[in-house]
Amino acid sequence: MLNFFDGKYEPFQPFLTYEVLESCGVILEQHQPSELLSGVVHSYLQVTTTKPIRYSVVPDGMEAFYVSSCGVLISGFQENAFDLNLSKPGQYFGIRFHPGGLQCFFDIASNLISSKIMDAVLVFNDGEKLDFHNQLYQYPDFNTRIKFCDEWLLQKLKPSQSSKFDSILLEIYKTCGNIAVGELADKVGLSSRHLNRIVQSYTGLSTKSFIQIIRIQFACKIAWREDSSNSELALDLGYFDQSHLLNDYRKRIRTNPTGLFSRLTSDFYNKSDE
């Protein structure tokens, strides 16, 4: 079994790797949040483009804000890859939230946004309309923007306590998503039904669906970085066989492991729709 979990879950986005960024002429800046936010916010990032481009996002078990000067898109947990159309050259900002992180700041029902990309104006009520993008772009550079984000989010942070969901996440991450729902329930001392209620309350997805997101995330990461065969990878991640892995990969990532890099860097793919 591959030992790919080192105690801290790190989402992998192939578009944000050095080789793809260099090929597409995109500049990436990333920074961790304030220590007070580190348990709920994973990171801030900013991409700078000199031409229209499609920003491809694979399922990674994170919620996110995608921010441009025009507005804010909110992403729930995605089960399949999708594209963000960066139709103009410029700077685009993002905030990645750990699972359940959005609920620590906002009154959002997780099932409202799971598997969806929604304009923030459709998600928040009138008393909590986001003017976030206008405030953010008043700041001239990435460093001042992340400072603003820290302050903005800290003002909205709700008091919280450690929950059973933390233990559930750890077990899923430790196994790279190669764990059955019943086994997971046993490990965290819950019935399968109670487990599912907890996971749904935080993610809007069934336990099985969320586990599958984490498994395909590790499959994508390992296939990109490791020199291992598809059959070996399938065995390590609990797929029935190589065919099962490849079918799941094509369904969720929209290509096969060997074709992902060429797809992300092709001129045809990166002609953003006007």
Q: Judge whether residue 97 has pLDDT over 50.
A: yes
* Residue 274 placed within a domain: no
170 and 243 inside one domain: yes
CATH number of the domain that 206 lies in? 1.10.10.60
State the Cα–Cα distance between residues 142 and 46, nearest whole angstrom: 7
Residue 1: what pLDDT?
A: 41
37 and 109 inside one domain: yes
Average pLDDT, rounded, for the chain: 90
State the Cα–Cα distance between residues 82 and 78, nearest whole angstrom: 8
137 and 174 inside one domain: no
43-96 per-position pLDDT tens digit: 999 999 999 999 999 999 999 999 999 999 999 999 999 999 999 999 999 999
Residue 217: what pLDDT?
A: 96
* Residue 272 placed within a domain: no
Residue 268: what pLDDT?
A: 44
Domain's final residue, options 102, 131, 156: 156
State the Cα–Cα distance between residues 246 and 178, nearest whole angstrom: 16
Alpha helices in the chain (DSSP H): 18-24, 110-113, 120-123, 132-136, 142-156, 164-174, 181-188, 192-203, 207-225, 230-236, 242-253, 260-265
- As for how many domains the chain has, the answer is 2
* Residue 9 placed within a domain: no
State the Cα–Cα distance between residues 31 and 14, nearest whole angstrom: 18
144 and 207 inside one domain: no
Q: How confident is the model at residue 187 (pLDDT cuts 50, 70, 90)?
A: very high
39 and 89 inside one domain: yes
Query: Contact, 79 vs 209, CB < 8 A?
Result: yes
Q: Judge whether residue 4 has pLDDT over 60.
A: no
* Residue 233 placed within a domain: yes
Domain's final residue, options 110, 139, 156: 156
Closest of 13, 240, 261, 176 to residue 230, by C-alpha: 240
Q: Judge whether residue 247 has pLDDT over 80.
A: yes
125-175 per-position pLDDT tens digit: 654 556 889 999 999 999 999 999 999 999 999 987 668 999 999 999 999
* Residue 107 placed within a domain: yes
Residue 53: what pLDDT?
A: 92
Range 9-24 average pLDDT: 93
23 and 148 inside one domain: yes
* Residue 116 placed within a domain: yes
Full residue range of the structural domain in which residue 145 is found: 14-156
Domain's final residue, options 156, 177, 194: 156
20 and 131 inside one domain: yes
97 and 150 inside one domain: yes
Residue 208: what pLDDT?
A: 97
Q: Is 1 helix (H, G, I), strand (E, B) or coil?
A: coil
Opening angle at CA 217, ends 175 and 120, nearest 5:
120
182 and 248 inside one domain: yes
* Residue 270 placed within a domain: no
193 and 247 inside one domain: yes
23 and 114 inside one domain: yes
144 and 196 inside one domain: no
From residue 68, give the alpha-carbon distance in Å to each of 110, 131, 133.
23, 12, 7
Q: Judge whether residue 192 has pLDDT over 90.
A: yes
* Residue 4 placed within a domain: no
Query: Contact, 79 vs 116, CB < 8 A?
Result: no
